[in-house]
Amino acid sequence: MNTTLHLTAVEHRVDSASRQRRFGHDGAVIWLTGLSASGKSTLAMRLEEQLLSQGYACYVLDGDNIRHGLNANLGFSPEDRTENIRRVGEVAALFADAGMVCIVALISPYIADRAQARAAAARNRLPFHEVYVATDLATCETRDPKGLYRKARAGELRGFTGIDAPYEAPEAAELQIDTQLENVDASLSKLRGYVTRHCPLL
Ligand code: ADP
């Protein structure tokens, strides 16, 4: 039985203009994609800290954190990765609909899954900005802050993105950050500049 046939959407009594007045900016999704160790979490958490101190209402949905709760029942098969991204895409759209700048840090290796996340935002006419943290595999492997590449190379971790699972790079990301060429502060400054230009405070 398709239960959605019996559901009726309920209208909010608060509109997006009221939320915008309350928070001082529009809601949006900032979606960071890239290989493990490319710098997504580092940049997302620092961006959140800086935006918050500037007066933004914002929150980071980080892939590893979400897998401890909402997505604790999902693994790393292609199907589970797709479901992982579908859920985060829907939650990010809800945060943005609530009026917040929602920063997502998720490998999200498949183009189709990221397109679905973009579509979840578009359904509510919410801006979605894809940021490609374009650090090359060799740099990520040298950094290896969690020792995961070493484990994947040793065969202790299967289906690791970039080693024995694919990463489909964005073809038209709104922003690309090549972190191998610069330090964290320089990358963050580009990211923050982009976000404050595209999600300006009123
Ligand atoms: P991810 O979330 O993509 O798996 P992390 O943020 O956990 O990656 O790790 C990235 C590592 O790369 C960190 O140790 C960070 O300090 C380092 N790093 C070096 N240069 C940069 C940069 N320009 N931007 C972001 N991280 C960088």
Cβ 179 under 6 angstroms from ligand 1: yes
Task: Say what the pLDDT of residue 181 is.
Answer: 87
Closest residue by Cα to atom 25, ligand 1, is 39
Q: What angle do CA 132, 142, 35 make, to 5 degrees?
A: 25
Q: Domain for residue 33, yes or no?
A: yes
Domain count, the chain: 1
The pLDDT of residue 3 is 64
Chain-wide mean pLDDT for the chain?
Answer: 96
Q: Is the pLDDT of residue 16 over 80?
A: yes
Residue 4's pLDDT band, with cuts at 50, 70 and 90, is: confident
Is 38 one of the annotated active-site residues of the chain? no
pLDDT (tens digit per residue) in 94-103: 999 999 999 9
185 CA: nearest ligand 1 atom: 23
Residues 93-119: what's their mean pLDDT?
A: 97
The predicted model gives 125-137 an average pLDDT of: 98
Let me know: does 55 contact 126? Beta carbons within 8 Å: no
Both tokens assigned to 121: 């935002």
Domain assignment present for 83: yes
Residue 5: per-residue pLDDT? 78
Centroid of ligand 1 to alpha carbon of 171 (angstroms)? 22
Q: What is the domain-level CATH number for residue 114? A: 3.40.50.300
**How crowded is residue 139: how many other Cβ atoms within 10 Å of its Cβ?**
16
Where in the sequence is the domain holding 84, given as residue range(s)?
Answer: 26-196
Phi/psi of residue 74, each to 5°? -110, 145
Within-domain flag for 119: yes
| Residue 14 counted as domain residue | no
Question: Quick check: pTM over 0.85?
Answer: yes
* Strand-by-strand arrangement of the 58-62 sheet: 58-62, 101-105, 28-33, 128-133, 175-177
Which contiguous run of DSSP H or E holds residue 129? strand 128-133
Residue 80 lies in a domain: yes
How do residues 51-65 score in pLDDT, each as one tens digit? Answer: 999 999 999 999 999
Residue 1 has pLDDT above 80, yes or no: no
Q: Is the pLDDT of residue 165 over 80?
A: yes
Quick check: is 121 in a domain?
yes
- pLDDT exceeds cutoff 70 at 2: no
